Amino acid sequence: MTSNGTHTFNGNGVTKNGFHHNGKATNGEKNGCNENSTNEMSYSYEALQETADYLKNIIPLVPKVGIICGSGLGAYWHEGTLADALDQKTEVPYEVIPNFPPSTVKGHAGALVFGYLSDVPVVCMKGRFHYYEGYPLWKCAMPVRVMKLLGVTHLLATNAAGGLNPNYKVGDIMLVKDHINLMGFAGNNPLQGPNDERFGPRFPPMSQAYDRKLMNQAKKIANDLGLGGNIHEGVYTCLGGPNFETVAELRALKVLGADTVGMSTVHEVITARHCDLTVLAFSLITNECIVDYETQEMANHEEVLDVGKMRQVILQKFVGKIVDYISTSENQK
């Protein structure tokens, strides 16, 4: 325990490299993953249950809300992030959690932080996994299934994104009302491979992926916080990255109907809806997409991080009130 009351686990007794095995690999199973005949892989239910059991043994709470802290909400090591603000927090670095991949993005924190936000038990992913890090989509999204096994009922996925909609300004928030799974257009989906019905159905619907009631409430909360002129509803799309888009690509995305573009979230939301989590997602607009050849401006990651830091205080209040609403509305059912 540190002087600020945070517990941090060093993973003593856990197999190094993030994979944990009982020394016995079952047929077709490697490091907790199922390998099928086409070489596609997925974590087995049992491997993820093992991950959840490890966490349950060291965490003194059952999280209700899972929060994915994107580049705009404290994925990086700096002071005053949302995860830092939790009460009674316990921090578990990804590298000590059985079956968790390590976070490879420079400066990315890479830890699950458990604690209370607005008196509600939550788990924050401080840093997420991206396709551009070299992970397949099912691996990027695996923490969502672990959250489900831990008892999470609601997922709040946040991201930093480029604003394609000309009405969006840097620092604005866009509630995601829908997404375009562009990587899915190319046949890449986190649910590919054998389906385990214990998580969800083979063919899950995605037309109601984002919870309308929560979105409406989030808009009210934004208004109450004085963010009425900075809140939008729109369509997010995810590309693989890591490069930012060309002008022609951005123009094409606009034609498709996207309002923001990023490199995350869609595969997490698909995985969350598959296992029946209620989802709210929002983008922090960290840069305006350049759709013109004459400007010298270029998207860059430093700008993304700077805007995240600039908006972190208000975003934390926003998220705190959303979490409070989730808990009180559930109790009133």
Ligand X SMILES: O=P(O)(O)O[C@H]1O[C@H](CO)[C@@H](O)[C@H]1O
The tokens describing 169, both together, are 């300004």
- Segment contacting ligand X by CB under 6 A, of 38-46, 87-95, 207-215, 256-264: 256-264
Residues within window 299-318 making contact with ligand GUN, judged by CB under 6 A: 299, 304
- Are 158 and 284 a contacting pair, CB within 8 Å? yes
Is residue 71 part of the contact set for ligand X (CB under 6 A)? yes
- Shortest CA distance to 172 belongs to which of 227, 221, 252, 209? 227
Task: Catalytic residue, from 103, 283, 287, 327: name it.
Answer: 287
Each residue 122-151 as x (binds ligand X by CB under 6 A) or -, in order, gives: ------x-x---------------------
Q: Active site residue: 133, 141, 232, 272, which one?
A: 133
Piece of the chain touching ligand X by CB under 6 A; list 6-14, 64-72, 142-150, 213-221? 64-72
Check if 287 is active-site: yes
Cα-based angle 120, 279, 204 (whole degrees, multiple of 5): 140
CB atoms within 10 A of CB 283: 29
| Choices 68-76, 191-199, 273-281, 319-327 (CB under 6 A): range interacting with ligand X | 68-76
Q: Is 76 in the site for ligand GUN (CB under 6 A)?
A: no
Q: Which residue has 């992970």 as its token pair?
A: 135
Binding residue (CB under 6 A) for ligand GUN from 97, 156, 263, 266: 263
List Cβ neighbours of 224 (8 Å cut-off, separation of 6 or more). 321
Nearest approach, Cβ of residue 121 and ligand X (Å): 24
| Residue 264 interacting entry, from ligand GUN, ligand X, none, C-beta within 5 to 8 Å by type | ligand X
CA-derived radius of gyration, the chain: 19
160-180: b or e for each residue (b if 16 or more CB lie within 10 Å)? bbbbbbeebebbbbbbbbbbb
Could you say whether residue 34 binds ligand GUN (CB under 6 A)?
no
DSSP secondary structure, 262-284, as one string: ESSSHHHHHHHHHTT-EEEEEEE
Taking CB atoms, the residue at the shortest distance from ligand GUN is 162
> Catalytic: 301?
yes
The active-site residue, picked from 20, 108, 179, 274, is 108
Collapsed DSSP state (helix, strand, coil) of residue 309? helix
Q: Which residues bind ligand GUN (CB under 6 A)?
A: 160-162, 239, 241, 244-245, 261-263, 286-287, 289, 299, 304
Looking at the annotation, which residues are catalytic?
71, 108, 130, 132-133, 160, 263-264, 287, 301
